[in-house]
Chain A
Amino acid sequence: MGMTLAEKILARASGKDVVKPDEIVMAKVDLAMSHENGDVVRKSFAEIGVEKVWDPDKIVFILDHRVPAESEKTATTHKALREFARKQGIKHFYDVGRGGICHQVLPDKGHVYPGAVLVGTDSHTTTHGAFGTFSTGIGATEMAGVWTEGELWFKVPSTILVKVTGEFNPYICAKDLILYLIGKISASGADYRSVEFVGPTIDNMTIASRMVIANLSMEMGAKVAFLPIDQKLHDFLSTRCNTQYDKNLAADPDAVYEKVIEIDVNKDISEPQIACPHFVDNVKPLSQLGDVKIHQGVIGSCTNGRLEDLEIAAKILDGKTVHPECRLIIIPASQQILLEAINLGYIQTLIKSGAMINPPGCGPCVGVHQGILAAGENCASSTNRNFLGRMGSKDSGVYLCSPAVVAASAIKGKLTNPNDL
């Protein structure tokens, strides 16, 4: 009997020929990533009392949640992390101005590749399934355990296969597809599972769009997600990643799947999908919502702050202006993306339309700074969560949608289908 991608990678990482769903394995970790919460990890690691981390070359720090430091308290944790990294000989430290959002920096700097086991103290670590990585989020104390032992227990997940066919309708994209799926199977629909996305629609997607799918798989509970390991991916990695990896890694043709879900994006997703407050699985087609006033638009985050997202926003906003009763915040996902967006003229277009450009980082997505909402305000956001109080007041509402819908909504000051402009 064949194995799925998750089974194959966990088998290799745990030194076994075969593993099966529900089996507990100890897997060697290839990469351990933390952002600011590395400071919680550092404290748990100190409590354990081991002096040296297992392998400083396999640990990566990327500051992104509060950059540049918004308070003295944060500045103190940033400083403590820098000192810890120096003392431990951890060289992969992407400081303020040198990186961006962790899930953008990891692939761009060549840290992820097919077959690797990656754990991160961030739930959206599932993003790296777009690179064939078994990649998942863990908590801080668990990470301190990884720093100590270099391995971690996993229950081998069963796998859901999602087959996607059809061509996207105008202004419909990967974000609409994954929101549609989350709405269909619920926020716990893939709990503890691996999810493999296949089919011509996925094959035709850019790597950036595949990252959106892997990233948001977390919001249906997935432990890991996988997108195709194909020539497009090898080409992407060839200019970034120096690690040799198995280019033929694939699920076996006779792998066993718990469930198969089929989506025809052309037929099933005819209009933009919106996750309404305060749950990511509260997904509705835009036309069902009526008039929803929008006070702020946000384009950014580990979900949708990439070059193609800024490009579509710039195209929609070119020669137009942000509605007087709305503000638009743009946060490129990394320094690299910001630079490319400047070179391509997107940033100039966006600034001329009245958008504010924030420095690369998580920005208001995690509710800390750079665009917090007041009571009674609504935000159209290309980010990943709309939980109560996520972006500020508990009496504000976040509507998750594609960057195109954010741009169109910012022009009209209400939730708007870009096709209606």
Chain B
Amino acid sequence: MSNNDMIIKGRVVAVLGDNIDTDVIYPGRYLNITDKLDTAEHVFELAYPELRSEVQQGDIIVGGMNFGCGSSREQATAAIKYAGFGAVIAGSFARIFFRNSLNLGLPLINNAEACKKIKKGDQLEINLLEGTIKNLTSGETLQAPALDERAAYLLKEGGLIPYLRKKHVKT
């Protein structure tokens, strides 16, 4: 990602509740799919199967507290990212999901009011470096914590793999 890419524009495709767990995001039965790109097919399959067909590249998901709780499965992050979602806004994120998203380059934005104030279909403009969530539909702006240095760096590099590749592998 370049600095310009630290601004995300997209449509809210779903506003979900608290404790959206990793089985809801990506069912355990598909964990033997180990290629990241192939995980997209099963995103939210059990609870919100319509999202897979509704999602357009760059769409945003909004959730409540403890988004991504449960398993360490990286497929949960990969499925969201490779299905085309551009970012997740939630009241809080479970820790492993948070780290996985950082590592795969899926932007996460922390705001507890978002799931009450943002509606499905709203157009948002998110500035990751400043932490602002501008709701272009309602005109309201919500403030999230700005990305810390580490997170911003990893996102700019495109995630942990390009970062480590650059650091350790001579090209």
Contacts and interface: CB of A to CB of B under 8 A. Distances in A.
- A interacts with B: yes
Interface of B: 19, 21-24, 27-29, 31-36, 46-47, 65-66, 69-75, 77, 92, 94-96, 99-100, 103-104, 150, 159-161, 164-165, 168-169
Given A48-B169, A140-B74, A141-B103, A366 B164 contact: no
A77 interface: yes
Interface string A103-131: 00000000000000000111101000000
Interface string A40-67: 1001100111100000000000000110
Given A48-B165, A140-B74, A141-B160, A74 B32 contact: yes
A99 interface: no
A166 interface: no
Contact of B29 (A149, A192, A367): A367
Interface string A54-86: 000000000001100001011001000000000
Contact of A390 (B23, B92, B95, B169): B23
Interface stretch (A5-13, A302-310, A381-389): A381-389
A231 B104 CA distance: 43
A162 B34 CA distance: 39
Contact of B74 (A141, A145, A394): A141
Contacts of B70: 123, 385, 387
B28 A49 contact: no
21 contacts: A48-B161, A48-B168, A65-B31, A77-B34, A120-B72, A125-B72, A137-B72, A139-B103, A141-B159, A142-B160, A144-B164, A148-B164, A188-B19, A188-B92, A191-B66, A221-B66, A367-B27, A385-B70, A387-B21, A388-B21, A389-B23
A144 B161 contact: yes
B100 A141 contact: yes
Interface string A390-401: 100010000000
A29 interface: no
- Interface core residue of B46, B69, B73 (most chain A CB under 10 Å): B69
Contact of B31 (A366, A387, A389): A366
Most buried by A among B19, B47, B150: B19
Given A139-B77, A191-B66, A153 B160 contact: no
A153 B163 CA distance: 14
A36 interface: yes
A74 B32 CA distance: 6
B77 to A, nearest CB: 7
A279 interface: yes
A343 B169 CA distance: 53
Contacts of B65: 188
A77 B159 contact: no
Contacts of B99: 138-139, 142
B25 to A, nearest CB: 10
Nearest to B93: A191
A188 to B, nearest CB: 4
A125 B95 CA distance: 13
Contacts of A137: 72, 96
A49 B31 CA distance: 24
A116 to B, nearest CB: 19
A39 interface: yes
